[in-house]
Structure 1
Amino acid sequence: MNGANPGIVSSAEEAEADLDVEWAGGVAKGATVKFVVSRSTNASDGVDLSSSYIVNNNLASAMSVSFGDCESVLGTGNSFYNGLWSQAAAQGISVFVAAGDNGSAACDAPASSKGNKNTTTPAVFGLAVNGLASTPYNVAVGGTEFNDTASPATWWNTSNDAQSASAKGYIPEVVWNESSYTTAGAAGNGLWAGSGGISMEYARPFWQTGTGVPVVDPGTTNQKHRLLPDVSLTAAGHDGYLIYQEGSLYQVGGTSASTPSMAGIMTIVNQYSGGRNGNPNLKLYPLASHPAIYHDVTTGTNAVPCEGGTPNCSAAAPAANTGVLTGYNAGVGYDLATGWGSMDAYALAANWGASLPPVLNITSVSPNPITASAAAQTLTINGTAFLSGATVGVGSTVYASKFVSSTQLTVSVTEAAAGTFAVTVTNPGGATSNSVSLTVNAPVVTPAITSISPNPMTESNASQLLTINGTGFQTGLTLRIGNRNFPSRELNSLSATKLTIWVTTGNTVATYPVQVVSPGSAASNTVNFSVVK
């Protein structure tokens, strides 16, 4: 108990608590399970307070969070959870967060009711993800569904065996999607489906690579953000999880069930490997190269019903039209519907300490910065897990590389425009590295003065227009007349070959040296400017 007892806030939260405790402990038999509850305050939600208490008191090697909130409206909550989960990972705590139960529509409620009436509406807020699950420091747990309805007898015994198991073996899985919308108020309406998608808050972590991981965010040409989920377990209601609550058994589903189960599996991995493992994604992704660990889910989608005319909906307005919110399909390897799929827990634990291929990662690019040029320049890229035939992306341009070793590539680039560009390495097969910024500076142009007019200028207390002709004049230059500096914003006009400025000479007869200095500090020749009577 963290502070005052909040009591039973609702029957739904009571069931959530029972589910988390019973299934985390049911998977990790004999493990100590600590349930932390906190009363919400005017300033902080109880979920935030309990999460902070667990991390700040370093309570366990793994933690499970079955709550969520729309990333795009979480505001400062995004930085709160990013910092908290980063701290947890640094302490060795493995954080598992439910990806969500609303398919690709993480900002919409999966279901709602008023009294006995189902008031669920189709999705209206477009594609979204759960902000508690989207940080680079936690494992986002999605949902699958047993593909057993066509022939249950093929996969299930009619009674439990000696180990109290009724499944005959591994049951094939599809993406969990039990969403439906027919007419307003229909009993079956709901957005129930495993959530997944693209974070708009966090860049793609360096470890998020492998077969199936898209080179760029789907629907974009060059964006690379954190993708969800990472892994999944069964979450469908038709083969639900049993919980015991107040003397009765209930069947429940959702990623609120798959998440504590995954935390239980991680506790077994921690015991098997002899200690804490922090952020498991650093191992979960490379382990995908081991064929025995994951059950790859290649069928299904997390697309859900949506209101016509709303973002990413297949149906046009009016709202009475019901369409399908563009979701994500399962595919070979990683996908945004189930991540890597589910796993064989025994194989996961047994191979956790195996020698794994290094993660494709760029550690440095040199030289950096470079100067923009139409001529080719050679970059050296250092990192890990480079393969012969890898390509190098610089912004939207892809170059062939020269393979030096698994830790170094060289590439000849032609970058004529100044700017900052993302550099990535893509190995044959599609695995793509993290991105590193390359700065391309504009070439330094040395200005030159060819003439000054009028020269000489007659002394006067009135303003007179001075014209300086030359080459290589740039916005941001500084004009020096004697010991005075005039920034370009004080000029009357400026082009590449001419600048003008209003000057007041007063009654002083003198000769002044004039220079133009470029934004890159290159100074022109000096020309004398005379003031006469």
Structure 2
Amino acid sequence: MRTPRRRPRAAVAAAGATALTAAALIAAPFTGAATGSSAAGSSAAGPAVGPVPAVVGHRLVKGADRPLSDEQCRATWGINCYTPLQYRRAYDLEPLYRAGVTGEGRTIVIVDSFGSPTIQHDLDVYSEQFGLPSTRVEVLKWGDVPPFDPTDADQAGWAGESTLDVQMAHAVAPGARIVLVETGVAETEGVTGLPEMMDAEKSMIDRGVGDVITQSFGATENTFPGFDRGDFSSIGKLRYAFEDARRHDVTVLASSGDGGATDATADGGGDYPYRVNSWPSADPLVTSIGGTQLHLDDSGDRTAPDSVYNDYGAGGGGQSHVFARPAYQNGVKDVVGDRRGTPDISMAAAVDGGAWVYSSYDPTAVGWDVYGGTSEASPLFSGVVALADQFGGRRVGDIHQALYALSRGESRLTGIVDVQDGTDNSYDGVTGYPAVKGYDMATGVGSLDAARFVPALARAARPH
């Protein structure tokens, strides 16, 4: 079995005297996410340290004994670090909570390789720290999941991803049920690990478990068998879970990646020197979640509009080489051409503005970490979907038609907030796509104001 390599769709930072040394900085990659580097000493993403799972986020701070204030983060590491309370303010979630819309009665399914043995404890600590109600995480093991070994870099990377996924989903939808499905094979590039994940997802769907599925993993389309010959059947054979989800009105999300317009090569040694895309984010049956950078004060109020995530990585986006433009993107054909374009919508993912996460799966680094990457954005958005499901009293299902229809309306009514700072998602020498007015392949339709977006999505969605 080849060594998995994942570039973070999220990233993590470490606290303490040696927090930003090369050894402490870990880029938990996703297929095409960016690796972490010293926030204090470099503005360029460095190479991944050791084997990392296919979809782990960027970790820039690791094992702090407590969450620091934003001012302390800037002074210590040169980055902003945000709490779920700041996110709640930034995304205008409080009006929904006051109305009783917390995701109650809805289920978020998270799929990760290996999982974490301390997932419940860590969520409890996280929730208590920020005054949130905790919830029970239901862990389902799919296949032969090996005993957890914190010295195994692959398993530890996925434990970090699992922790990030659970805490971000809970931060947005504190009333939702969370099911963490742990598979026994690491997802890397090509098909490796994906059949187990797709089997697990289909089983959940068929059993009625889950209203929304979030996937913080992906593999570069070019790494699948047959791609070079124009044979995309190896991807086609993996789509059965998404087809099943559509029939059952289950919303499926995936991180768009942290490698901008490029992504990881099959051997994990680097990125392609030209534009590529990744699956499942590029699948027309999946809502692709890209990344933005938030600019907040300590209360969570914006000091500037959201911008493109392009600091220690870059939000994935671009044209699929496998899938043609779906009908729901006909209105943005001038941007995506005749191909499926990603992302569809974006949430927080920048390392400069990363999220505090608590973990104890590694006994040598128990404490608070700071993550970024689109593997943060996808679970955040899964919480938004759970809120919309509760608000509407039904599953919103495949949201693409509703999302693109809403993007053509007025933001004050739809809650979609355009991101148009002009920055692009270039990464590793590959020119990306700039954020401009309307849809673009850096942030999709933009970001959201949840108090407006959740009701608008619930009304506009047309499930089967």
Query: TM-score under structure 1 normalisation?
Result: 0.52
**Structure 1 position 178, deviation (Å):** 1.4
Name the stretch that deviates more: 4-13 or 87-96.
Answer: 4-13
Q: Does 1:58 pair with 2:208?
A: yes
Deviations 1:38-73 (A, max 9, x none): 212998544344334333433100010000101122
- What is the Cα deviation at residue 74 of structure 1? 2.2
Provide the residue aligned with 1:301 in structure 2.
424
Partner residue in 2 for 1:215: 334
Q: Could you tell me which residue of structure 2 aligns to residue 28 of structure 1?
A: 173
Partner-residue secondary structure (3-state), 1:215: helix
Q: Is 1:90 matched up with 2:238?
A: no
Q: 1:125 offset after TM fit, Å? A: 3.8
Equivalent positions of 1:325-474 (< 5 A) are: 325-354=430-459
Q: Which amino acid aligns with 2:163?
A: D
SS in 2 for 1:201: strand
Tell me by how many angstroms 1:169 deviates: 4.5
Counterparts of 2:214 and 2:221, CA distance in 1: 19
| Residue equivalent to 2:345 | 231
8 Å CA contact 1:133–1:140 kept in 2: the answer is yes
2:411 match: 291
Q: Distance in 2 between matches of 1:51 and 1:230?
A: 22
In 2, the alpha carbon distance for the partners of 1:55 and 1:3 equals 17
Match of 2:308 among 170, 175, 178: 175
Q: Distance in 1 between matches of 2:431 and 2:457?
A: 36
Q: Across the two proteins, how many residue pairs are aligned to each other?
A: 296
Counterpart code for 2:246: A
> Which among 142, 159, 163 is matched to residue 2 of structure 1?
142
Q: How much does 1:98 deviate? A: 0.4
- Percent identical residues: 27
The one of 203, 206, 209 aligned to 2:327: 206
d(CA) in 1 for partners of 2:406, 2:263: 28
Q: CA–CA distance in 1 between the matches of 2:456 and 2:272?
A: 43
Deviation by residue 1:295-323 (Cα, 9 ceiling, x = unmatched): 211121011133xxxxxxxxxxxxxxxxx
Residues 198 and 240 in structure 2, CA contact (< 8 A), matched pair in contact too: no
Question: Are 2:403 and 1:250 equivalent residues in the alignment?
Answer: no
2:222 corresponding residue in structure 1: 72
SS of the equivalent of 2:174 reads coil
Structure 1 distance, partners of 2:384, 2:303, is 17
- Change in CA separation of 1:355 and 1:264 when aligned onto 2, cut-off 3 Å: closer
Give, in angstroms, the shift of residue 145 of structure 1: 1.0
Rate the CA distance shift 1:97–1:77 in 2: closer, same or farther, 3 A.
farther
Aligned to 1:326, the other structure's residue is in SS state coil
- Preserved CA contact (<8 Å) 1:72 1:131: no
Q: CA deviation at 1:97?
A: 0.3
Contact 1:100 1:195 in 2 (8 A): yes
Instruction: Give SS of 2:239's match.
Output: helix
Task: Indicate yes or no: 2:182 matched with 1:18.
Answer: no
Contact 1:61 1:276 in 2 (8 A): yes
Runs of 4+ in structure 1 deviating by more than 4 angstroms, as ranges, are 41-46, 353-356
Whether the aligned pair in 2 keeps the contact of 1:156 and 1:168 (CA below 8 Å) is: yes
Match of 1:137 among 264, 281, 285: 285
What corresponds to 2:262 in structure 1?
A: 105
Q: Highest CA radius of gyration, 1 or 2?
A: 1
> Which structure features the higher share of helix residues?
2
**DSSP 3-state at the match of 1:35:** strand
Structure 1: runs of 5+ lacking an equivalent: 113-119, 149-154, 158-165, 180-191, 218-222, 307-324, 359-533
What amino acid does structure 1 have at the position aligned with 2:424? T
Q: Which has the higher contact order (CA 8 A, sep 6+)?
A: 2
Task: Note the residue ranges of structure 2 that are not aligned, 5 or more in a row.
Answer: 1-140, 149-153, 226-232, 361-365
Alignment match, 1:156: 297
For 1:279, the equivalent position in structure 2 comes to 398
Distance 1:44 1:248 in 2: 29
RMSD (CA atoms): 2.6
